[in-house]
Structure 1
Amino acid sequence: MTPSSQAGNAPAETDGTLGEIGEFGLIRRVATGRSQPAATIVGPGDDAAIVAAPDGRVVASTDVLVETVHFRLDWSTPEQVGRRAAAANLADIAAMGAVPTALLVGLACPANTPVATLTALADGLWAEAGVVGAGVVGGDVASSAQLMVAVTALGSLEGRPPVLRGGARPGDLVAVRGRLGWAAAGLAVLQRGFRSPAVVVNAHRVPEPPYAAGPEAAKAGATAMIDVSDGLLADLGHIARASGVRIDLRSATLDVPARLRDVGAALGADPRHWLLTGGDDHALAATFPAEALLPFGWVRVGTVEAADGADSVVLVDGRPYDGGPAGWDHFA
């Protein structure tokens, strides 16, 4: 199942509003003619979906995206919103060392929402699911005052133990895989009223998580892993607290891409702050035994230390970070 085949099979009728065609009319339009992977035994159209779980365990994760909080339709197309909603959940599955198998989607929106907006959003969900060979197997539609998308991702560990947040041990090394800081830089550009450089803005609109790197890290002996959704410092903080350790990052190992340096100079911002605290790139961060051979693309950025009775914390070059909040907090 590929993104191109998904789009080619999508229904063409996109006129009118959700209120005019109704819940089941929308479901027919976004589900009819779609291909499903082999793991989907029963897809959309019944009371529940059935997804194969040969491993005997199912990895599951849910995220909710709310318009004006997580996305704006004057900044992103509906298809980009769909891809982003799917990516946020698929990356969580990868961070457990698992392979994504299916998505369930809950949609709430006003009755006057154009059908074209919702079918494009569905196209994005299907396209991103297709990147990892997963299917969109079901969901629900409800009325609300604003557009909200809730996605649940399922995955398979393929016989491996899960890689949890609480497995880091003193002496482990810390490594990352994927982009850091790009989505935060793109958001900063959009907040200033600009739409370029496109490569940076698009990093905010559609992340590119390194999905395959999660299972690869698990096979290489990763002791703990997390999806960087709220910021590298904040998310490594979750590993430190769950593991009862301290993590020390080495800032010199975090290469600042030239494009982010240019954007930082134009906006009067420190691009290294984006790398350390920016979320939504959905990179993966993990700890490995010191003697481990890192899989291709993983970059060592720090070490795990004993907490020595102090609060578990993430340091930068041996000191607490003083450049501002460590990452995104919905209720701060």
Structure 2
Amino acid sequence: MSIAEAGEFGLIARVVAKLENYPTTLLGPGDDSAIVAAPDKRVVASTDVLVEGRHFRRDWSSGADVGHRAAAANLADIAAMGATPTALLVGLCAPADLELAWAEELAGGLADEAALVGASVVGGDTSASPTLTVAVTALGDLGGRKPVLRSGAEPGDVVALAGRIGHAAAGYTVLSRGFRTPKALVEAYRRPSVPYAAGPAAADAGATAMIDVSDGLLQDLGHIAAASVVGVDIRTDAFEVSDQMRDAAAALGVDPYQWILGGGDDHALAATFPPGTTLPDGWREIGKVHEGTGLTVDGRAWSGPAGWDHFK
């Protein structure tokens, strides 16, 4: 059955049936607006858009995969501020002949990813469109913490990373070359594994700046360097290249560090901490902040790709 056959309200009913409310949801789908608790009295908000053919392909990923990715992209942004996600709002623009089952899978993936952090999908909107598009807004609560901005890094700070890096970019390259293995890399592209708890933990440990690595480690750390008016140097020996990544790189003729330093979509968290800070569990040092500007790798300019830019 297509969503045209189900109709707008039939689609909404099927999608809502996949959702579950958590304690922060005071009023879920069904009215003109949802009501979400905000104990901190400050609401952290972020929005991302996924467009078919630009961010995902249905022959590469299931509806559930796309749901996980769409939710993760937003939930990671909330965690990168040092906050805990509380709710998602979802806009779905789809061709009328889209299979209803795919939309239901999408809803399930969104709900399952949100459930990892105890957040609910509380509402959204649907519209007919020739291009399949998923737009998600995430809300979060700081829990009394000071938000961790991009602009707080200081010379002498340690640069640290939480989560895996380079795997999603490797999986994308594998898929784009027409292969489906190694499975671990392909699955990393299809569904991020985000260290959500590492964000609030970093804030509690005194992180001076933090960012979600969505467009590439060097590009995203460059945002911290620019906002903080500092320089950042990254050490390549801080990264372990897995056997699967190394083998795939050799087979495809790719430098694996291009995936690690320039690849996005893993949604790892990168942060800076004052010197001498005991890093929270799950965080590892990968570089230093210094006087100056810009980004270097092992003390030298990086000549490879630094990350993704939608308009280049």
Tell me, yes or no, whether TM beats 0.5.
yes
SS at match of 2:113: helix
* 1:33 positional shift: 6.5
Moved more, 130-139 or 252-261: 252-261
- The amino acid of 2:106's aligned partner reads L
Partner residue of 1:145?
Answer: 130
Q: Which residue of 303, 308, 312 corresponds with 1:328?
A: 308
Partner residue, 1:34: 19
Among candidates 258, 265, 278, match of residue 293 of structure 1: 278
What is the match of residue 65 of structure 1? 50
1:249 match: 234
Percent identity, aligned pairs only?
Answer: 63
Q: Tell me how far 1:34 sits from its aligned partner.
A: 3.4
Partner of 1:313: 294
Runs of 4+ in 1 over 3 A off after TM superposition: none
CA RMSD of aligned residues (A): 0.8
Does residue 273 (structure 1) correspond to residue 254 (structure 2)? The answer is: no
- Contact 2:87/2:140, CA 8 A, preserved across alignment: yes
- Please, what TM-score do these two structures have when normalized by structure 2? 0.99
How much has 1:296 moved relative to structure 2?
Answer: 1.1
Gap change, CA 1:303 and 1:81, over 3 Å in 2: same
Equivalent of 2:165, from 169, 174, 180?
Answer: 180
Letter in 2 for 1:172: D
Quote the residue 1:197 is aligned against.
182
Please point out which of 188, 196, 205 is paired with 1:220: 205
**1:32 Cα deviation (Å)?**
3.0
Q: Which amino acid letter does the alignment assign opposite residue 283 of structure 1? A: A
The one-character-per-residue Cα deviations of 1:219-261 (angstroms, maximum 9, x if unpaired) are: 0000000000000000000000000000011111122112110
Q: CA deviation at 1:99?
A: 0.4
Q: Within 5 Å, which residues of 2 pair with 1:51-62? A: 51-62=36-47
Question: Which runs of 5 or more structure 2 residues have no equivalent in the other structure?
Answer: none
Match of 2:219 among 208, 218, 234: 234
Amino acid of the residue matched to residue 147 of structure 1? L
Give the SS at the match of 2:175. Answer: helix
Separation of aligned partners in 2, 1:271 and 1:150: 31
- 1:165 counterpart SS class: coil
- 1:83 maps to which of 63, 68, 71: 68
Q: Does residue 159 of the first structure (1) align with residue 144 of the second (2)?
A: yes
On the 8 A contact 2:18/2:104 being kept in 1, the answer is: no
Note the residue ranges of structure 1 that are not aligned, 5 or more in a row.
1-15
Q: Does 1:304 align with 2:289?
A: yes
Q: Decide which of 116, 121, 130 is 1:136's aligned counterpart.
A: 121
**Counterpart of 2:30?**
45
**Could you tell me which amino acid in structure 1 is paired with residue 232 of structure 2?**
I
Deviation of 1:124 (Å)? 0.4
2: CA distance, partners of 1:296 / 1:38: 27
Q: 1:78-117 residue pairs with structure 2 within 5 A?
A: 78-117=63-102
In structure 1, C-alpha distance between the alignment counterparts of 2:74 and 2:272, rounded to whole Å: 21
Q: TM-score, normalised by structure 1?
A: 0.93
